[in-house]
Structure 1
Amino acid sequence: MSRATATATGFIAVLLWALLALFTVGSSPTPPLLLNTLCFGIGGIVGLIWAWATGSVPQMRTVPLRVYAFGALGLFAYHLLYFSALRLAPAAEAGLIAYLWPLLIVVFSGLLPSETLKAGHVIGAILGFSGAALIISGGGAGLSTEYLPGYLLALLAAFTWAGYSVLSRLVGSAPTASVAVFCIATSLLSFPLHLMFEETVFPTTALGWASIAGLGLGPVGFAFYVWDIGCKHGDIQLLGTSSYAAPLLSTLVLILAGIAAPSMTLLWATLLITGGAGVAARASFSSN
């Protein structure tokens, strides 16, 4: 596979992640842990089929257990927080806050050994968090206490995924096929917790089931595999930059689907969060 093809393959993940909020809303009223169980079960099966078809199964046996544990916990924690946030707050607004993770990855990376936290990183963080504050404050009209739990979970999700992504550099690399094990483990971890803490509620419509299938096949399934290929064999800087378009694309999808209404608050929050990530990324590129 050429570098250009691998980069284009990785960009598919950004397009799929733009559908994450849409499918999460469509899967309602399925509770978060059950949703984790179902969609990651689908994503894991997709990965196992892919690993078998490409002859990658033997590679999976060489991965250290700590890498599998770390990967599974990262996927489990982020998506549980994300799904919970979108059950408690408006999808567009909560999704935007969760999409602070590209910005946070850049900022956190600047704190690693041999890296430097530059002024552009700080400015980008201020812009991004200003966008989140605009949402939480209801566009300046006052604190949106009704949706505050959802917004806080979305913010925690952003920090969780950013921390997981940066710390994964210290844990060790793994072949793309290992993502299937991450997904299966996430599903198996979520199921007993669902039985302990949630009421079992399945979708009552074909749209609900289609949304769960869409999640498992796309944003929390196929997306992880194509992103891994892109990051390992494509232009990682170009892919990193493309990920900053995810919050913008996600918001546009929700508006086009009629789930979110266009507003100046949503517009400014989107521009601040996306722009903040771009400013921070530019600071990183200028130091290379």
Structure 2
Amino acid sequence: MTRSRATMVGFVAVLLWSLLALLTVGSEPTPPLLLNAICFSIGGTLGLIWTAASGGLRQLRNVSWRVYAFGTVGLFGYHALYFSALRLAPAAEAGLIAYLWPLLIVLFSGLLPGEQLRPGHLIGAFLGFSGAALIIAGGGGGFQTQYLPGYGLALLCALTWSGYSVLSRKVGDAPTASVAVFCVATAVASWILHLAVEDTVWPQGALGWASTIGLGLGPVGLAFYVWDIGVKQGDIQMLGTSSYAAPLLSTLILVGAGIAAPSWGLAIAAALITGGAVLAARASLSS
């Protein structure tokens, strides 16, 4: 697979993650660990079915336990933190902090062997982050001290996913099929911890179950497999910067659903995100 094609495959994850906040809100009041358990059970099962159908089960035997541990910690940590943050703090402010991860990916990736952080990447990341911040924080009342636990979890969420994505290059020889094992292991850990520390509150009604199943199929399912291909074989800096499209697309979905109203702020944010992506793309092409 070519570098450019792998980058496009990775961007499919960004499209799926644009549904993450909406579906997470729709899954309320299911607690974070139970939501983690249900979603990863779905995503892991689908991954194993795909791996078996493609004849890839044998290659999983050659994967180091360290790789499985690394992937499980990354997926479990990010989503447990994300779901908890959105339960403990307003989605707008918590989402703003959590969406520091694309910027951190661009910056951290400059430390990888064979990668070079150019001024265009930095400027593009800054513009993209500005657009994301305008979308997520627009019209909000600002941060409030009672939500500091949620804000702290959102920051850890950003650090976890950016670190996981960049360090995935260190395990680049692990097959993408191994992500299915990450998902299953994450589901098992989530079930155990849920039973130990949470009260069981299942998704409520058709909307709750549809949101939860949708999470398992898309943002917490297929997204991991295509993202794994993108960060290992594609342009990780471009993927990090283009990830700012997720909050933009998420807002457009909310507008289409009648939950949010269109505004000039949305148009300005779209211009910032598009301009940032173009600058980053030019920087990558010139490398």
Cα contact 1:8–1:230 (8 A) shared by 2: yes
Q: How many Å separate the matches in 1 of 2:230 and 2:115? A: 23
Provide the residue aligned with 1:187 in structure 2.
Answer: 187
Q: Give the 3-state SS of the residue equivalent to 1:175 in structure 2.
A: coil
Q: Give the count of matched residue pairs.
A: 287
- Quote the Cα distance in structure 2 between the aligned partners of 1:13 and 1:181: 18
State the alpha-carbon separation in 2 of the partners of residues 257 and 146 from structure 1: 30
Deviations 1:51-103 (A, max 9, x none): 11111101111111100000000001111111112212333443343222222
Q: Which residue in 2 is equivalent to 1:247?
A: 247
Amino acid at match of 2:17: W
| Match in the other structure for 1:74 | 74
Question: Letter of the aligned partner of 1:59 in structure 2?
Answer: Q
CA distance, structure 2, for counterparts of residue 169 and residue 8 of structure 1 = 17
Q: TM-score, normalised by structure 1?
A: 0.82
Q: Secondary structure at the match of 1:61?
A: helix
User: Which 5+ residue runs of structure 2 have no aligned equivalent?
Assistant: none
Q: Percent identity?
A: 71
Q: CA deviation at 1:110?
A: 1.6
Look up the match of 1:206: 206
The match for 1:281 is: 280
Query: How is 1:1-288 mapped onto 2 (pairs within 5 angstroms)?
Result: 9-113=9-113, 115-120=115-120, 123=123, 143-230=143-230, 242-261=242-261, 274=273, 278=277, 281=280, 285=284, 288=287
Give the 3 Å change call, closer, same or farther, for CA 207–196 of structure 1 in structure 2: same
Contact 1:34 1:200 in 2 (8 A): yes
Task: Give the partner amino acid of 2:58.
Answer: P
Deviation readout 1:212-267 (Å, 9 max, x if unpaired): 11111111111222333455667777655543311211222223224445566777
Segment of structure 1 superposing worse, 5-14 or 69-78: 5-14
SS at structure 2 position matched to 1:28: coil
**What CA RMSD, in Å, does the superposition of the two structures yield over aligned residues?**
3.5
Distance 1:205-1:42 versus aligned 2 partners, 3 A rule = same
Distance 1:4 1:108 in 2: 21
CA distance in 1, matches of 2:235, 2:261: 36
Shift of 1:281: 3.2
Q: Cα distance, 1:138 vs. partner?
A: 7.7
- Worse overlay, 235-244 or 23-32: 235-244
Decide which moves more: 37-46 or 234-243: 234-243
Q: Return closer, same or farther for 1:132/1:14 CA change in 2, 3 Å cut-off.
A: closer
| Between 216-225 and 114-123, the greater mean CA deviation after superposition | 114-123
Greater shift, 36-45 or 136-145, is seen at 136-145
CA distance in 1, matches of 2:89, 2:276: 23
**2: distance between equivalents of 1:236 and 1:113?**
12
Aligned partner letter, 1:197: V
